[in-house]
Amino acid sequence: MFSSLAEIVARAESTGRPLWRIVLDEEVEDADTTGERVLERLGERLATMREAVERGLHSDAPSVSGLLGGGARRFETWRAQGASVLGPFLGKVVARAQATMEVNARMGTIVATPTAGSSGILPAVLFSAEEELGLSEQDLVRGLLVAAGVGQVIVARASVSGAAGGCQAETGSAAAMAAGALTALRGGRPAQVSESVAFTLQGMLGLICDPVGGLVEVPCLTRNVSGAVQAVAGSELALAGLHFPIPADEVIDVMGQIGSELDEKYRETAKGGLAATATGRRLAASVRWDGPGFENTNAARARDLADPGPALAADADGGESHG
């Protein structure tokens, strides 16, 4: 596993091998497996990602809370009618970023890339590139490898956990991974892939994690849209040959540092930001806990949502503390 993008780029440049190959070789060595097996498993993951996007684009089913549902389909229909000024590539990205997140929010099956809360971004960029740039399945699997390399560096230097580092650690990381993958798939040099990560992540720095009602719904879904758009823009800045003066590894470091300095209320506790607005609190209190797959015993849950502590303790006959 790599601890810096500089190291991956240097290895690609010195060996003349593409980035995806550098990441693949490292995985084969670390995990004592074969390249074929890794590619096959990534192909399986890609198939799950594709199913989630398709299901999200074609269903109006509500999320478990009822706060979300049908947005991806609505946007896709509107876009396909020619109403959007984004153009087909970015328009598809915006629709698809919502699709996976809707499936995720109804407890459907997705692939965490790198997390479930940021799972809309990478598939949105990859599948839009497949359709609009004529990429193959094999290309997309290679894109997953480049994205994984970027993600590994982020985990080594910072975090991909919203509870540890805020939304910048989740959607910021996913956007950086998607930008790296897109840049590589469009023929960017290794150094440009690294530039695209820097351009993308710098724009996500400081983003807090403030989920309304503690659900992975609002604003997570639309933050995935922001991240996906940022990823495409970051990739294009790099492909056009622009240079961001702070190296990607340092941008990742500062993301981790900002995350550790974020107040707890901005780290997935639902105590700050949009979650703590008057409307955010009202929505949290009105959440339906009887959505698809939920049991009917949830009236009690809805009741004690406003005051979870005592209700929980009462549940647990006594409340002696654990070691």
Partner 1 sequence: MSVFDIIGPRMVGPSSSHTAGALRLGLLARGLLGRTPERARIGLHGSFATTYRGHGTDRAVAAGLLGMAPDDPRIPRSLEVARERGLDVRFEPLDLGPAAHPATLAFELEAEGERVTMVGASVGGGSVQVTSVNGRDVDLTGEYDTLIVQARDIPGTTASITHLLAERGVNIAFLEVSREKRGREATMLIEADHEIPDDVVEQVQAFEWVREARRLSKVTD
Q: Considering only residues 55 through 84, tell me which ones interact with partner 1, judged by CB under 8 A.
A: 64-65
Please list every residue from 252 through 271 that binds partner 1, using CB under 8 A.
264, 267-271
Q: Closer CB to partner 1, residue 103 or residue 232?
A: 103
First vs last Cα of the chain: how many Å apart?
34
With binding defined as CB under 8 A, does residue 4 bind partner 1?
Answer: no
Compute the least distance from the CB of residue 297 to partner 1, in Å: 8
- Identify the residue among 5, 53, 99, 103 touching partner 1 (CB under 8 A): 103
Q: Which stretch binds partner 1 (CB under 8 A): 83-91, 131-139, 144-152, 192-200?
A: 144-152
Q: Closer CB to partner 1, residue 30 or residue 131?
A: 30
Contact (Cβ atoms closer than 8 angstroms) between residue 227 and residue 101 = no
Q: Which stretch binds partner 1 (CB under 8 A): 25-33, 71-79, 199-207, 250-258?
A: 25-33
> Tokens standing for 234?
């970051």
With binding defined as CB under 8 A, does residue 112 bind partner 1?
Answer: yes
Q: Under rule CB under 8 A, how many of the chain's residues touch partner 1?
A: 78
- Identify the residue among 121, 144, 239, 254 touching partner 1 (CB under 8 A): 144
Please list every residue from 197 through 236 that binds partner 1, using CB under 8 A.
211, 213-217
What's at 212, amino acid-wise?
Answer: V
Q: Quick one: CA dihedral 89, 90, 95, 97, positive or negative?
A: positive
- Identify the residue among 6, 164, 191, 233 touching partner 1 (CB under 8 A): 164
Compute the least distance from the CB of residue 234 to partner 1, in Å: 18
Q: Closer CB to partner 1, residue 97 or residue 237?
A: 97
Distance CA 164, CA 99 (A): 26
Angle separating helix axes 248-261 and 173-185, nearest 10 degrees: 160
With binding defined as CB under 8 A, does residue 17 bind partner 1?
Answer: no
With binding defined as CB under 8 A, does residue 48 bind partner 1?
Answer: yes
Strand, helix or coil for residue 209: strand
With binding defined as CB under 8 A, does residue 189 bind partner 1?
Answer: no
Compute the least distance from the CB of residue 241 to partner 1, in Å: 28
Residue 199: name the closest of 5, 18, 7 by CA.
Answer: 5
CA-based angle 300:306:312, to the nearest 5? 55
- Identify the residue among 22, 93, 97, 160 touching partner 1 (CB under 8 A): 160
Distance CA 56, CA 65 (A): 16
Is 132 exposed, middle or buried (CB count within 10 Å of its CB: 0-12, 13-18, 19+)?
middle
> Tokens standing for 81?
């009618």
Q: How many CB atoms lie within 10 A of CB 18?
A: 17
- Identify the residue among 50, 79, 106, 157 touching partner 1 (CB under 8 A): 106
With binding defined as CB under 8 A, does residue 317 bind partner 1?
Answer: yes
With binding defined as CB under 8 A, does residue 294 bind partner 1?
Answer: yes
Distance CA 279, CA 238 (A): 40
Compute the least distance from the CB of residue 271 to partner 1, in Å: 7
Residue 123: name the closest of 105, 98, 146, 106 by CA.
Answer: 98
Distance CA 195, CA 320 (A): 52
- Identify the residue among 8, 53, 94, 155 touching partner 1 (CB under 8 A): 155
